[in-house]
Amino acid sequence: MTDAPLILRGVEIWQGALDRPAQEAMLADLREVVRAAPLFSPETRFGKKMSVAMTSAGTYGWYSDRRGYRYERRHPSGVDWPPIPESVLAVWRARVSAERMPDCCLVNYYREGAKMGLHQDRDEADFSWPVLSISLGDEARFRIGSVDRGGTTESVWLRSGDVCVIGGDARLVHHGIDKVRFGSSTLLSDGGRVNLTLRVVD
């Protein structure tokens, strides 16, 4: 990789980092993950179901219910989360570190109309590790604010194969997904968007 990333409020966006064959191979690996640990839509602590469906791979999975947001060692069905696919770990190794692997790969699935409100990712123990995100399928408008609540925001469209690295001063910025242009990509035959976030949790 010789080209430089787009940088928006400290978030590194590597557009087109994964070519189509790499995206297809990763999606095939993710189908195995979803077979072992089916997608579910968690409830927020306000008792409202999220529009995004999700599951995880790795030692920890992200989970939410009326008791709040947290990492859990098992899928709600009681099974361990499946291992993070090698195709996904390879992206982390290339872009973040070969010294320490992530212990959570959150898989977000956006059906038609799904979105994610502005929030911070702060359930992890050590914010010195960046979060790495991989977008697959339909394009989505990603919004970035600042570390403090309120203030201005900026947005950028994330497309299939884009990789974001969020570290340093950007690690605690507010961010969200406004909307997905449903059916804009041919990667998923039924449409929709998959986003992976890789994190070091503890």
Among residues 121, 138, 139, 162, the one that binds Fe ion under rule CB under 5 A: 121
**Residue 56 touches ligand MD3, criterion: CB under 6 A:** no
Closest CA to 30 of 73, 78, 88: 88
Closest CA to 122 of 66, 54, 69: 69
Q: 20 vs 119, which CB is nearer to Fe ion?
A: 119
| The two three-digit tokens of residue 200, written as one number | 């070091």
Q: 43 vs 123, which CB is nearer to Fe ion?
A: 123
Strands (E), the chain: 6-8, 11-14, 53-57, 61-65, 68-72, 104-110, 116-119, 131-137, 140-144, 154-158, 163-166, 175-180, 193-199
Shortest distance (Å) from residue 121 CB to Fe ion: 4
Q: Minimal CB distance to Fe ion: which residue?
A: 121
Among residues 30, 57, 164, 198, the one that binds ligand MD3 under rule CB under 6 A: 164
**Where does this chain touch ligand MD3 (CB under 6 A) — which range of 36-44, 71-79, 82-90, 163-171?**
163-171
**Residue 166 touches ligand MD3, criterion: CB under 6 A:** yes
Which residues does 105 contact at the CB level (< 8 Å), separation at least 6?
56, 57, 58, 84, 85, 88, 196, 197, 198
Shortest distance (Å) from residue 124 CB to Fe ion: 11
**Where does this chain touch Fe ion (CB under 5 A) — which range of 3-11, 58-66, 119-127, 162-170?**
119-127
Subset of 70-109 contacting ligand MD3 (CB under 6 A): 106, 108
Closest CA to 178 of 136, 145, 148: 145
User: 116-132 b/e with 16+ CB inside 10 Å = b?
Assistant: beeeebebbeeeebbbb
**Where does this chain touch ligand MD3 (CB under 6 A) — which range of 17-25, 38-46, 93-101, 172-180?**
172-180
Considering only CA atoms, give the Rg of the chain: 16
Shortest distance (Å) from residue 156 CB to Fe ion: 15
Q: Minimal CB distance to ligand MD3: which residue?
A: 195
Across the chain, which distance is largest between two alpha carbons, in Å? Answer: 46
Residues found near Fe ion in the complex (CB under 5 A): 121
Residues found near ligand MD3 in the complex (CB under 6 A): 11, 106, 108, 116, 121, 131, 133, 164, 166, 170-171, 173, 175, 177, 195, 197
